[in-house]
Structure 1
Amino acid sequence: MEIRQLKSNDAESYLAIRLEALQNSHEAFATSYGEEKNQTENSYHDRLSSETTFTFGAFIDKQLVGVITLVRETLVKLSHRANLVAMYIKPEARGKGIGKLLVNSAIGQAAQLDGLEQIYLSVVTTNQSAKQLYLATGFEVVGKQLRALKWQDRYYDEEQMVYYLK
């Protein structure tokens, strides 16, 4: 298994896993498949080349099986913060420690960014495995947002979590 930061030449693989994530785990993401399905590979080239966004991928036999993205805030008053988003592991690759490796890669990247002190994330309260992973890697719950997401007349609550680098 290989964990590495994705680059613009990984855009096609990233687009494929992103669309799979939105179809298979629609309740876990703010973006819907319908909103994202018309994105082009070129739009992901830009995301994967950004200086404030770091996407890590897990590869098994050269196949992308998991992703996570760290996004640094750019506003001056928020520049000490980053957000962890778009975490997804293909079902057949779950239970192998890939999630922990991806989260730790993002935390490692964050620790290298000058002035960064905190990493935030939101997790749907029904996603017990993700919540356990984040708690096990050092995140702590700092709040709960009721009815945070709504999909097809169903509401999903989210917990906000934070990891303090300093």
Structure 2
Amino acid sequence: MEIRLLTAEDANAYWELRLEALLQNPEAFATSYEEAIERQHPVEKVANNLRTEGNYTYGALENGQLVGMLTLLVEQPLKLKHRANIFAVYVSPSIRGLGVGNTLVTKAIEKAKSIESLVKLNLSVVSSNKQAKRLYEKLGFKVFGVEEKALKLADTYYTEEHMTLILK
């Protein structure tokens, strides 16, 4: 398993995995699959994001195929430059339970610690995603807030837990 920063050349593979994520786990993302496929020039937008300073998107590749991803995004406003957010975390069902998520999050934490200005990392996780919550807690994240009815999918509401990891 190779874990590396994705580049603009990986945009198509990222977009395909993103669509898979939205189909496989719609409750875990604010964007719906239907909204995603309606976007104009999505691969170009992904490529631009992958080129953006302060945007670190890691990919897990198995035999050259992208099977996991995570984005670490450093806040840009002056008063928020001390923090970054982890989002768009996804691992294909076929390789879940093999430590890929742990490796991706650990890479993001290591990268965040290497950025002198960063003091904390934030993320949000759907409360019912027990496996992800356990992983984040194991790596030191703590819940700082709970948002009831944060997401709505069909007639079901999902609660999100907002978590933080103090780096320094």
Normalised TM-score (structure 2): 0.96
More off after superposition, 37-46 vs 60-69: 37-46
1: CA distance, partners of 2:99 / 2:66: 15
1:135 aligns with 2:137: yes
Partner of 2:7: 7
Helix, strand or coil at the partner of 2:161? strand
Is 1:107 paired with 2:113?
Answer: no
Q: Structure 1 residue 150: deviation in Å?
A: 1.1
1:155 corresponds to which of 140, 154, 157: 157
Match for residue 27 of structure 1?
Answer: 27
RMSD over aligned Cα, in angstroms? 0.8
Where in structure 1 are there 5+ consecutive unaligned residues?
Answer: none
Deviation at 1:153, TM superposition (A): 2.2
**What amino acid maps onto 1:64 in structure 2?**
L
The separation in 1 between residues aligned to 2:103 and 2:36, in whole angstroms, is 27
Runs of 4+ aligned residues of structure 1 deviating over 3 Å after TM superposition are none
Q: Deviations over 1:89-138 (max 9, x none)?
A: 00001011000000011111111112100000000000000000101111
Shift, 1:65, TM fit = 0.6
Overall identity of the aligned pairs, in %:
46
Count of matched residue pairs: 166
Task: Compute the TM-score of the two structures, normalised by the length of structure 1.
Answer: 0.97
